[in-house]
A and B are shown apart, each in its own frame.
Chain A
Amino acid sequence: MTVNDRNSGGLPGAEERDSRLDRLYREAERAGPPAHLDAALLAAARREVGARPRPLASALRKWRVPVSIAALVVLSVSLVTLVREEGGDELMKVAPGTPPAPKPSGMAPPPAQPAQADAARPSPPAPAARPEPARPAPRDDRRADAQAELGTMADRPQPFLAAPRVEERAAGSPQAAPDMEDGAMRAPAAVARRSAKSVASGAPAAEVESARMMAGSAQSGVPGQGKAPPWQGYEKEPPQKWLDRIAELRRQGETAVAGEMLAEFKRRFPDHPLPPDPGAR
């Protein structure tokens, strides 16, 4: 009998199989590994899986989405931070002599005008709603108004936008400054504002300074209220005043406050060009 006569059809290697030998072999002793070897190998296999990281491809498949989301968030936060910081540098790219384009806050920007026309303009027109600090009202009356206003504000929470009104009314009350808790801390800012304000309005420097201080003190003294914003008192000022103030703050080293004010400036005057170096002004 030949091998092919005994082939087991359908089995692997059927061309070289002997079905009788296959049956006989299966009836032979079926020895197996001892149980302790089984346990040791299975434990080793589990240890190996637990001890080593998964293959890179598998790990990437599992963590692809969370890692992508995390990377996106980190990138977005970095970009926003960078853009905000870069915004400050924009100030240094614009020529210092560029006149501001005054716009009333909260209104849509007007159509862009040619740069030459802006440059030829001698001075920016003051907004119609701009408050005039140097009013002809008697000095004593203004002081009384400011004191009355301070007393009122100390008693009740003050809305954020009420500050300019306080400033206007309190201009000319220098003796109120020592009473304010925040007066000393705001002194450098007041000094900075004084020069700009007095130049623009012609009001006495002491009056302007005290008005600034009172405005800030009135806000900070209200229980439950946060500090007054750095642009308090500039809401109705032209953009150039804002820039002067920002440059002043930077020169004084108050970069954070200057940054806040610059952000507010950009929000209010989005199309206004920025000078190249506000600190040099």
Chain B
Amino acid sequence: MSWGAESSDEELMLGYRDGDAGAFDSLYARHKGGLYRYLLRQCRDAAAAEELFQDVWMNLIRARAGYTVQAKFTTYLYRLAHNRLIDHYRKHARATAVAFDDEGGDALLELPDDRVRPADDILDAKRRAARLLELIATLPPAQREAFLLQQEGGMSVEAIAQATGVTRETAKSRLRYALAKLRQGLGE
């Protein structure tokens, strides 16, 4: 069976569950970039990101037989990624895992302020994008995760809350803080 753009993620995953490897190809093509960037920007280590990326997809492959549609596929996929990331944090840097629980409201004060930059340093779009990535890297992990899930996974606040295992209000708060810090960092 051929799977087109009109097929939903959930249909693709059900197709793969029922033995259609082509469905997995389509699913992988749709989400490999976003998931990889999510992991890369969360752990900021390409080698670790590749390992995590592989683990997440392998977990999904192994769990295919028991897959049922209980939420959006992206929520399911990024939930796997979130859990794997937490394991990674716990294994390699406990401090990061602890910081994950910290809302990091005060971290805003530590961000560099672009407004103090000289006028001739005004960035063009590409440089501003690179600057955004730098700012994202400085965000507290929980806020960064919320922002990346929104950008890479295209997820709503509710879906972010589901994927990260927090309440909707917590997810919303994290996202709001992240956006505020990024805007502040960009001098807006």
Shortest C-beta distance, A74 to chain B (Å), equals: 28
B65 within 8 Å of A (CB atoms): yes
B residues within 8 A CB of A38?
28, 32
Nearest-neighbor residue (CB-CB) of A61 within chain B: B18
Interface: A128 (CB within 8 A)? no
Give how many B residues have a beta carbon under 8 Å from the other chain's beta carbons: 47
Judge whether A3 is part of the interface by a CB distance below 8 angstroms: yes
Query: Which label, helix, strand, loop or mixed, suits the secondary structure of the A interface?
Result: helix
Bound together, the chains give a CA A48 to CA B172 distance in angstroms of 38
Chain A, residues 15-59, CB within 8 Å of chain B (1/0): the string is 111101110110111111110011011101110111010110010
Q: Within 8 Å of chain B (Cβ to Cβ): is A12?
A: yes
Please, which residues of chain B bring their CB within 8 A of the CB of A58?
Answer: 18-19
Residue pair B156, A13 in contact (C-beta under 8 Å) = yes
Question: Which of B21, B50, B128, B175 lies in contact with A34, CB distance below 8 A?
Answer: B50
Chain B residues near A82 (CB, 8 Å)? none
- B32 and A12: CB pair below 8 A? no
Per the bound structure, the CA–CA distance linking A33 and B37 in Å amounts to: 8
Q: Please state if A15 and B19 are interface contacts (CB–CB under 8 Å).
A: no
Greatest chain B CB density within 10 A among A28, A32, A48 is at A28
Chain A residues whose CB sits within 8 angstroms of the CB of B33 once the complex forms: 30-33
The residue from B18, B36, B125, B180 contacting A54, defined by CB atoms under 8 A apart = B18
Chain A residues lying within 8 Å of B139, measured Cβ to Cβ, are none
What chain B residues lie within 8 Å of A107 (beta carbons)? none
CB proximity to A under 8 Å, residues B138-188: 150-151, 154-157, 159-160, 172, 175-176, 179-180, 182-183, 186, 188
Do A32 and B32 touch (CB < 8 A)?
A: yes
User: Is B57 at the interface (CB under 8 A from chain A)?
Assistant: yes
A16 B175 Cβ-Cβ under 8 A: yes
CA distance A29 to B126 in the complex (A): 9
- What is the total number of residues of chain A having a CB less than 8 Å from a CB of chain B? 37
Is B130 positioned at the interface, with any CB of A under 8 Å from its CB? yes
Inter-chain contacts of A69 with B (CB < 8 A): none
Are B126 and A55 interface neighbours, CB within 8 A?
A: no
Is A1 an interface position by the 8 A CB rule? yes
B88 at the interface (CB under 8 A from A): no
Q: Is the CB of A44 within 8 A of B32?
A: no
Contact, CB under 8 Å: A33 / B50: yes
Distance (whole angstroms) from the CB of B11 to the closest CB of chain A = 15
Residues of B within 8 A of A55 (CB): 17-18, 65
Residues of the A chain whose Cβ atoms lie less than 8 Å from the Cβ of B17: 55
Docked Cα-Cα span, A34 to B135, in Å, equals 25
Interface residue B16 (Cβ < 8 Å from any Cβ of A): yes
A40 B32 Cβ-Cβ under 8 A: no
A38 to B33, CA, bound (A): 11
- Asked whether, in the complex, the Cβ of A37 is within 8 Å of the Cβ of B53, the reply is yes
Chain A nearest Cβ from B30, distance in angstroms: 12
Identify A33's interface contact among B53, B65, B150, B160, CB under 8 A: B53
Query: What residues of A have a CB within 8 angstroms of the CB of B36 in the complex?
Result: 31-33
With both chains docked as a complex, state the minimum distance between the C-beta of B167 and any C-beta of chain A, in angstroms.
14
Q: Are A37 and B24 in contact (CB under 8 A)?
A: no
Given the known A-B contacts A12-B156, A21-B182, A37-B53, are A29 and B25 also in contact in the complex, defined by CB atoms under 8 Å?
no
Taking the nearest CB of chain B, how far is it from the CB of A19, in angstroms?
Answer: 11
How distant is the Cα of A50 from the Cα of B125 in the complex, in angstroms?
A: 47
A28 engages B133 (CB within 8 Å)? yes
What are 13 contact pairs spanning A and B, CB under 8 A?
A1-B188, A12-B159, A13-B156, A13-B159, A13-B175, A16-B157, A25-B129, A30-B37, A33-B53, A37-B50, A44-B58, A49-B20, A55-B65
List the 8 shortest-distance A-B pairs measured between CB atoms, nearest first: A28-B129, A13-B156, A27-B129, A12-B156, A45-B24, A46-B21, A16-B175, A33-B36
A-side interface residues toward B, CB under 8 Å? 1, 3, 11-13, 15-18, 20-22, 24-25, 27-34, 37-38, 40-42, 44-46, 48-50, 52, 54-55, 58
Seed contacts A13-B155, A42-B24; 15 additional CB < 8 Å A-B pairs:
A12-B156, A16-B175, A17-B179, A18-B183, A21-B179, A21-B182, A25-B132, A27-B128, A30-B33, A31-B33, A37-B54, A41-B28, A46-B24, A48-B61, A49-B20
